[in-house]
Amino acid sequence: MANPEGMLTVAEVAHRMGRSTEQVRRYLREKKLPGERIGHQWFVPQKALEEEEMDRLTERRLAIFEEVRALREEVHKRLGREYSLEELMDEAREVTCSGAPAASGLEYRAMGTFRQRISIAPLSGGEFQELDALVDTGSTYTFVPRSLTAKLGIMPEDSFPFVLADGRRIEYPVAWVRVRLDGRQSLTICVFGEEDTQPLLGSFTLEAFRLAVDTVNKRLIPVPGLLVGVTS
């Protein structure tokens, strides 16, 4: 049967959340996820799922802002002057991307920021395009410049709201794409960024490959999946 307007199937929700269909059904039964049972099938309002994704992203961003606040206090103690949020964020980007020493004298410890070679291709088929992406566990989805998606003929399927590092909210077009990493292939959501966007490899894509970040050795490592509702 066709999906009711504005509703997603359990399989679609599981794919977007990076969970199993059984986990999603359990969330629905336990009312941890809003849904409606029509006949023998569960459906989830797309808007409700997007709000939950926004809540998870906001929690991550709030944690980042708390770290920035602590950095500002440390700068004030060391140098006797206030740094604005914009100054600290700009400095952190410069340090993590270029390796240059920080003007404030602070040591920035980038969590999971290193480059990884990946390839993306349209969901419908076609050749892959290689690119070096910055591994960013603070980003939900993989982010690439729009010129690259245009070159590959990837068209937007939807638009998602995002919270930026400075607190602004903005919508970006997105689409499902094929992604290849270390000889393995999967599907992921790709965000169409601005022309000067630094390609980012986000947590949603890493979870699809069952990979985690080894921040000490600056590499990706395989991790087992979780079946928290299953006992042997």
Average pLDDT over residues 43-59: 76
Q: Which residue has the higher pLDDT, 110 or 72?
A: 72
Average pLDDT over residues 167-188: 89
The CA distance from 135 to 216, in Å, is 14
Neighbours of 140 (CB within 10 A): 22
What pLDDT score does 88 carry?
A: 53
- Among 74-88, 116-130, 165-179, the minimum mean pLDDT is found in 74-88
pLDDT of 45 strictly over 60: yes
Q: State the helix-helix crossing angle for 46-79 and 10-17, rounded to 10 degrees.
A: 10
Q: Which among 9-13, 89-93, 177-181, 202-206 has the top mean pLDDT? A: 177-181
Please classify residue 205 by burial: count the beta carbons closer than 10 Å to its beta carbon, then call 0-12 exposed, 13-18 middle and 19+ buried: buried
- Asked if 191 contacts 141 with a C-beta cutoff of 8 angstroms, the reply is yes
The CA distance from 185 to 118, in Å, is 10
What pLDDT score does 186 carry?
A: 92
Dihedral pair phi/psi, residue 180, rounded to 5°? -120, 135
What pLDDT score does 15 carry?
A: 79
- Among 17-26, 86-95, 128-137, 141-150, the minimum mean pLDDT is found in 86-95
pTM: 0.51
Average pLDDT over residues 122-147: 88
What pLDDT score does 32 carry?
A: 82
The CA distance from 132 to 211, in Å, is 17
What pLDDT score does 52 carry?
A: 74
Q: H helices within the chain, ranges in order? A: 10-17, 21-29, 46-79, 85-98, 146-151, 203-208
* Chain segment 182-217, per-residue pLDDT in tens: 989 999 999 998 887 788 998 889 988 988 887 767
Q: Which residue has the higher pLDDT, 74 or 219?
A: 219
Look over the chain and give the mean of its residue pLDDT values, rounded to a whole number: 77
* Chain segment 54-106, per-residue pLDDT in tens: 666 666 666 666 666 676 676 666 666 665 555 555 555 444 444 444 444 44
